[in-house]
Structures are given as C-alpha cells and as structure tokens.
Structure 1
Amino acid sequence: MTDPAPRRRSSRAWLYAPFMALALVAAGWTGFWFIVRARVVDAVDTALAREAGLGRSWTCTDRAVTGFPFRVELRCGALALASARWGEEVRVQTGPAVAVGQIYTPNLVIAQITGPLQATLPEGRRLDLGWTRLEASLTHASGDPERLSLVISAPTASLTAPGLTAETWQAASLEAHLRRNPTRPATDQAVDLAIAAKGSVLPALDALLGTNEPGDVDIQATLTQTEAFRIGLNPDALEAWRNVGGQVELTRLVSVKGPARIEATGQFLIDQTHRPAGQLQASLAGIRQIAGIPVGGLAAGLGGLLGGRLSAQLPGAAPGLNALPPIVLREGRVYLGPIRLPLQPLPALY
C-alpha cells in the first residue's frame, strides 16, 4: 500500500503582509514629508527674496526645518530685520523663534518668539519690547492672510528718543486679532482689528487722567483700504493708504482704570501733514480731570455753550456715563470741543 501524497505546506506570507504594508506606508509618508519640507523651504526662500526686493532684509540665524513626522517646524536661533524703507535704516532683533505647521492643517501656522525685541528707529529713537510668552497664529488661503492672532503675557514697552523723557508701558496681558471683514464690500478692502489689554499702565495716560491705577482696555476697529499695506508698514505704504482715503473706524473703545471708565467711538485718518487726524466721541465716569482741566465744570460750561447737548450718551454706552465734547485731532493739535488741550503737538508719522 502506497503512502498518501504529502500535503503542500501552506504559505505564511500573509503573516508578514501587515508589516510590509506598514513599511510601505512609512516609506511613503517619509517621502511625502520631505516633499512638503522642500516646498516650505522654497516658499520661505521665495518670501525672503521678495522681501529683499522691497527693501527689507530678514536674517534667520541657524535656520533649521524639522518636525518629522507630522509637523514642519522652521526654527531660528535669532530673528532680525533690517529695513531701509523709513529713510534711515530700521533694525529689529529678537531671540529664538519657531513657526510650526501641521501636515493635516496646512493653512494654519503657529509661531512662538522669545524676547526681548530691540528696535533701532529713525531720528535716534529706540524701542525695547519684552514679554514672558508670545504666541501668534496665522490662517491663510493660497498664501493670502485671512486671520492673525497674537497673545502676549506680561508685555512691556519702552520708547526712548534724544531730548525726550522715556515712555514705558506695561500690562499683565495683551491680545490682538485681525481678520478680513466678511460683510463690507470688497472695494472697502476692510480688515477688522480687536485689541484687549489687561492691567495696563502708561504714565503719560495716568498724568492725563489724574490716576495711576492699572487699567483694562478693549478696542474694536475696522481699517479700510488695507491693500496699501501689502508692501509693508513704511512711509510709502502710509502715503498710499492716505491717498486712497484709508480710515480707521473705531467702533468700540472701553477703558477702565479703577473708578474711571471711558467709552468712545470715532474715525481717524492721516492728514496732508502726515499726522493723525479725526474725531473721537467719548463718554466717561469717575474722572475728575483731563490734562488738569476739571471735567465737571468743563462739561457743564460747554454743555451750556452748546445748548445742553453734552448730556446725551453714546449708543450702547453703559448707564451713568457723561458725554464729553468731541475730541478732535487737527493739524497735530488735540482739542476738547473748542478748547485746545495743553499737550505737545502730535509728531508726523513719516
């Protein structure tokens, strides 16, 4: 009797199939990440070349692009900017900086910058900024910014200039947000701006209002004709913005310092002398003087002079606020109604 034919041994290749598939996916993902990395490097180099053509030279010390496998991180040991667009060269330098983009959210970039920031400005001025933490996020579509947010913890700012007393500002926190306005006509080129500062202290403002308590500030505004700033923030851009009728429409300003509260709306632009101009309509409570002028007597006197119209509140203003005469910026001077305040003339912006 013959033995039965031997059974064919079953293949075990399927046991290795998952590992082979995983290796193929890993290899494919690695290749994809390096392609994305190369595109980021090309985009950064193109942006730096475009900036150099506009007179702004950026330096990213010890540049490195890392973040594998799910992120792309652009790191700089220090970040510096030199610009010749203000007549005299402007130099800005910060500490280490990192910008991060997730592979699965390519339209969102998050950045962290380590302070301090030191800026050398025209006419011998110097600006020093400090903070404990600074984070920014940018949402864009096809390279066009759509929303920008900035959050700073414990910011400080000091501005010095030859012949002038140094001004220092500090706060517990500062937030700023910009976005394209979704409701205005495209011809307005409108961008919404929101700024909120907590625990703010500015000696010049304290002297103006006669109080030194920390304050909170909430500002909401809309800037029109913003395409003028595509070339940056410099005299050419400001002049182009002025020529096309760009304005800052202040829709909400609320400042609270201890018992003092100010609410305001207004409109501002740049006049032919390159100084800020416009009008602010404000209501206040808990403030006894502005620049040494008693508010109560001034409001009462001007109210009688203007037919008692100062008792009206701003639309949406909190109850108990008293309206001031219009605060007008004209030819570099500041007026409260028909009275010119005893302040230094506003300097030209450029």
Structure 2
Amino acid sequence: MDQAAPTGNVRRSRFWLYTPFVLLLLLAIAWSVAWFVIRNRTAEALDGWIAAEARAGREWTCTDRSIAGYPFRIEVVCSNLELKRGAVTASFGRTEAVAQVYQPRRIIAEVAGPLRVTDGTVAVQGSWDLLQASINASQTGLQRLSVAADAPKVTVTGLPAGEFSGSGRHLELHVRPNPSRAAEQARDVAASITDARIPLLDGLIGGTEPANLNADVTVTQADGFKGGTIAEELELWRKAGGKLDLLMLSATKGSRQIETKGELRLDEQHRPAGQINVAAAGLDGLLGNLTGGRLGGNLLGMLLGQGPRANAAQPNAKPQLASLPPLRLENGFLAMGPFVIPNVKLQPLY
C-alpha cells in the first residue's frame, strides 16, 4: 500500500524573497559610486575651464568652492565669485549653481549681492533681494540665458553725463542667439522691469510715478566680452558694424505711454545714430522739454492728441497712442521729420 510523502518538513528557498532588497542595495552602491565619479569629473572640468579662461585673459576666482548635491544633483557653491580681465573687474556675493546629473547642460543659479563692476573709470554697483538665473547650453554653446531679480537697484558712476541710478520691483532678462542671423553674431534680448523708479526718466518725461519698461531687441556683432574697458568694448562693437535693432521698446508711466521701433548704432564720433519710429500718448510735457517750451512743441502735442484735453471726456480711459513723425539721430542732432529739434545735442557715449 502506497504511503503519502510527508509535506510538513519541506524547506522552501528564501532567495527570491531577499532578491529585490539585494538588487536595490547594489543599485544604491552603484549610483553612489557613479555620483562621486561625476562629482570628481565636475571638479576636473571646472579646473580645466578656469585654466582655459585664464589663457584667454579672463581670471575667475571661486572662493571656498564646494561641490555637493548627492544623490541626484551637482551643486557648486562659491562664497564669492570674481572675474578680472584687463582693467575690468567684477564680483558677486555667494553664488550657487545646480544641475541635475541627468540634465547637466541646464544649470540653475542663485546669486547674492552686491554686484561690483569697474573698469577704473566707470563703476557699477547693484543689489537685489533675490536673483536667480538659468542657463541652457548644448554642445555648440549657449542656447538661452534667463535672469530674474526681485527689488533690483543699480547705481552707475563715472559716466560723462553724470551719475545714473534706478530701482524696480521685479526684473527679467532673457538672452539667446538668433538662429537666423548667425553670420551677424546676433543675440536676441528681451527684458522687462516693473515699478521702475529712475530719476533721469522723471526729469525727462515728468511726474514721479513708477514706470513699467519692456524691451525686445536684437544686438548684432555680440561675439562676447573682450576684457577691455567699457569704452574699448563699445569701440570694438562699433568698428565691427554692430547695431541695435529695436523690435519694441515700451514705457508706461502714469498716464504717459511710449512705444518705439527702429535701428540704432554709433557714429564715428561715438554718438547714437539711426532712426526710430515712435507712438506716444500723454507726452506733451516731453515735447515741450525738447523744444524748450516753445509754441511749436505744444502745438505738436495737441495735434497728436497728447495735450491735456486729449482724455478730458474720459479721464480714466486708457490713452490712445498716436504716431509721431520718424525720429532721426544724425551728426549729433535729433530731427523729427524734416525739422531739427532745438536744444537737443547728442553727446558721445565715450
């Protein structure tokens, strides 16, 4: 008579029970080793880049550099970041740059102030509450640079025209190469600032209200910083045939509004030159300033609908822009249509 095989003492293997945990442990070890390899390669790449920049005349100093971010990021931190080339020096406060290990060509940076830039003559000082930047690159170079700053403030001294200062609530700046104008080494620049307070603008247009400014321009022959003074950099740009294509510049200041398009460059005397088309509202005061308060300027303002009666029937209505005759900048003078505007003399920028 057959006897049934005993089943109570069968020992089952536990290999498959522990396999997922063993694999997870091995994966964590492998990832840790890979991260430290990437970290070391990042340090070597930074050292190589700094050395290459030094050979090109640009000396970068990253004080107290540290590299962290395990397990998924690479974080490079400098307690101070400085750049020197020729007579030009620039410095920032604490700078932290972060990239994901799986997306190393997209870098997010947070930069603390103050900003100090000088070429021995002109000095720029800037501060902000928060400044963040993102850099998107490829094997061919920079694809896009974006900067956003809260409560920016800037002061420029040493300019021929005197000190310039300004502040705002929020600033944004975007720069990218123009793919359709690579032969001109063109860069597209879009910038905006909200609630800007600029004393120079108050004196020119009138009023003390904050202004909202927007710019969409293309700069040609923008092949990079050569390390000279500001005057030398501008002269190199001028000799290379650089120009500024104004796709749109707009400013809104209280009831005053202006939009401009056109093209600007520098003439041989280093003065602005070119032609711009202007549409404006509420700028009768500006026209009066340009014409020295003469009757012609006031009449022009009234004819263009910019005078005080323009919105008398609807005081809260949005002002309607009216097109001005083209503005030409030639030989140091400013002309509107066929007429040269008196009391306006364009000075050399350097």
Other-structure match for 1:229: 224
Other-structure match for 1:103: 101
TM-score (norm 2): 0.82
Q: Supply the distance in 2 between the matched residues of 1:248 and 1:162 (Cα, whole angstroms).
A: 21
Q: Supply the distance in 1 between the matched residues of 2:96 and 2:82 (Cα, whole angstroms).
A: 13
Deviation at 1:236, TM superposition (A): 6.3
Q: Supply the distance in 1 between the matched residues of 2:168 and 2:139 (Cα, whole angstroms).
A: 36
Residue 11 of structure 1 aligns to a residue whose secondary structure is coil
- CA separation of 1:164 and 1:329: change in aligned 2, threshold 3 A: closer
Other-structure match for 1:323: 323
Q: Supply the distance in 2 between the matched residues of 1:292 and 1:272 (Cα, whole angstroms).
A: 25
Choose from 110, 113, 116 the match for 1:115.
113
Report if the CA contact (8 A) 1:302-1:325 is conserved: no
Other-structure match for 1:129: 126
Choose from 7, 29, 32 the match for 1:30.
32
Report if the CA contact (8 A) 1:299-1:325 is conserved: no
Other-structure match for 2:312: none
Other-structure match for 1:14: 16
Other-structure match for 2:272: 276
Other-structure match for 2:314: none
- CA separation of 1:169 and 1:32: change in aligned 2, threshold 3 A: same
Runs ≥4 residues deviating over 4 A? 4-8, 162-165, 230-240, 299-303, 331-337
Q: Which is worse superposed, 324-333 or 111-120?
A: 324-333
Residue 25 of structure 1 aligns to a residue whose secondary structure is helix
Q: What is the letter of the counterpart of residue 107 of structure 1?
A: R
Deviation at 1:322, TM superposition (A): 2.7
Deviation at 1:160, TM superposition (A): 2.1
Q: What is the letter of the counterpart of residue 229 of structure 1?
A: G
Report if the CA contact (8 A) 1:270-1:277 is conserved: yes
Other-structure match for 1:315: none
Provide, for residues 98-141 of structure 1, a one-character-per-residue CA deviation record: whole Å limited to 9, x for no partner: 00001222221010001111223332x32110110100001111
Is structure 2 residue 201 aligned with structure 1 residue 205? yes
Other-structure match for 1:44: 46
Deviation at 1:163, TM superposition (A): 8.7
Residue 48 of structure 2 aligns to a residue whose secondary structure is helix
Number of aligned positions between the proteins:
329
Residue 246 of structure 1 aligns to a residue whose secondary structure is coil
Residue 213 of structure 1 aligns to a residue whose secondary structure is coil
- CA separation of 1:102 and 1:340: change in aligned 2, threshold 3 A: farther
Choose from 139, 144, 149 the match for 2:146.
149
Deviation at 1:41, TM superposition (A): 1.8
Other-structure match for 1:82: 84
For structure 2, which runs of at least 5 residues remain unmatched after alignment? Answer: 306-317
Q: Supply the distance in 1 between the matched residues of 2:20 and 2:294 (Cα, whole angstroms).
A: 80
- CA separation of 1:104 and 1:174: change in aligned 2, threshold 3 A: same
Q: What is the letter of the counterpart of residue 95 of structure 1?
A: G
Report if the CA contact (8 A) 1:54-1:231 is conserved: no
Q: Supply the distance in 2 between the matched residues of 1:37 and 1:341 (Cα, whole angstroms).
A: 62
Provide, for residues 145-200 of structure 1, a one-character-per-residue CA deviation record: whole Å limited to 9, x for no partner: 10111101111111223897532101111111112334x25424332211111011
TM-score (norm 1): 0.82
- CA separation of 1:241 and 1:327: change in aligned 2, threshold 3 A: same
Residue 178 of structure 1 aligns to a residue whose secondary structure is strand
Choose from 283, 286, 310 the match for 1:287.
283
How much identity, in percent, do the aligned residues show? 35
- CA separation of 1:120 and 1:243: change in aligned 2, threshold 3 A: closer
Is structure 2 residue 189 aligned with structure 1 residue 193? yes
Q: What is the letter of the counterpart of residue 286 of structure 1?
A: G
For structure 1, which runs of at least 5 residues remain unmatched after alignment? Answer: 312-317
Deviation at 1:261, TM superposition (A): 0.4
Report if the CA contact (8 A) 1:229-1:237 is conserved: no
- CA separation of 1:319 and 1:33: change in aligned 2, threshold 3 A: same
Q: Supply the distance in 1 between the matched residues of 2:99 and 2:274 (Cα, whole angstroms).
A: 41
Residue 224 of structure 2 aligns to a residue whose secondary structure is helix
Report if the CA contact (8 A) 1:334-1:341 is conserved: no
Other-structure match for 1:298: 297
Provide, for residues 280-323 of structure 1, a one-character-per-residue CA deviation record: whole Å limited to 9, x for no partner: 221211112223535983275699xxxx9x89xxxxxx983233
